[in-house]
């Protein structure tokens, strides 16, 4: 059995402002750093063999916090695991998009990356992970839309459950060529108070 733990990065200032991030390289904010530390503490009590992460700063910082706590396991950064590109809407809020393009902005060609494009780069990356790490537990640290698109493709039972939370853990298990979801959008680690707080 091979397990993949899909992790969404910690929070950023743009998350709080409701700004579309896409490929824009935004770092974690103070809360996001704290969330990543709590996530790392949680995952250190589980068995993980390797970490793959988007190369964008917010995901990289989250993955590095986990890696530091987990110790001597490999970590790889892959641009194919980046967030879905936001095109012309990156950096804008909903209100700004309505002001600029009107309330029908979702139906305009704003050069946003399609779900199919995200799948076309994300699925081969996952296939490579499965070939390199059969029977292992793989952490994949990425982004909300990226994770949602890939999860909906692999385990469509979770489609329509809304956005994934910052530092949420979703675990899927591959047995006999069939993916099953073990855990979805779990953030119970954020309820834990760390000693340094």
* CATH label of the domain that carries residue 124: 3.40.50.1240
Determine the pLDDT at residue 162: 75
Residues 6+ apart with CB under 8 A from 42: 169, 188, 189, 192
Instruction: Give the model confidence (pLDDT) of 162-174 as tens digits.
Output: 789 999 999 999 9
- Asked, for residue 196, whether it belongs to a domain, the answer is no
Structural domain for 50, as ranges: 2-191
Binding residues for substrate: 8-15, 58
What is the Cα–Cα distance from 94 to 73, expressed in whole angstroms? Answer: 40
Q: Taking residues 36-41, what's their average pLDDT?
A: 97
- Asked, for residue 169, whether it belongs to a domain, the answer is yes
Q: How many domains does the structure of the chain reveal?
A: 1
More confident residue, 14 or 161: 14
- Asked, for residue 197, whether it belongs to a domain, the answer is no
More confident residue, 192 or 179: 179
- Asked, for residue 109, whether it belongs to a domain, the answer is yes
- What residues are labeled active site? 9, 83
């Amino acid at each position: 059995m091979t397990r993949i733990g899909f992790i969404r990065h910690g929070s950023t200032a743009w998350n709080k402002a409701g700004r579309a991030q896409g490929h824009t390289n935004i770092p974690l904010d103070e809360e996001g750093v704290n969330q990543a530390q709590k996530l790392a503490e949680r995952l250190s009590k589980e068995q993980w063999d390797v970490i793959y992460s988007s190369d964008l700063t917010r995901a990289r910082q989250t993955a590095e916090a986990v890696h530091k706590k987990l110790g001597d396991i490999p970590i790889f950064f892959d641009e194919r695991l980046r967030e879905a590109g936001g095109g012309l809407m990156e950096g804008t809020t909903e209100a700004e998009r309505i002001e600029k393009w009107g309330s029908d902005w979702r139906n305009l060609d704003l050069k946003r990356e399609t779900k199919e494009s995200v799948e076309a780069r994300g699925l081969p990356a996952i296939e490579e992970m499965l070939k390199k790490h059969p029977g292992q537990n793989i952490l994949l640290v990425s982004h909300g839309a990226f994770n949602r698109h890939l999860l909906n493709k692999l385990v469509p039972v979770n489609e329509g459950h809304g956005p994934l939370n910052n530092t949420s853990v979703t675990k899927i298990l591959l047995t006999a060529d069939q993916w099953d979801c073990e855990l979805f959008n779990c953030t119970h680690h954020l309820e834990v108070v760390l000693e340094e707080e």
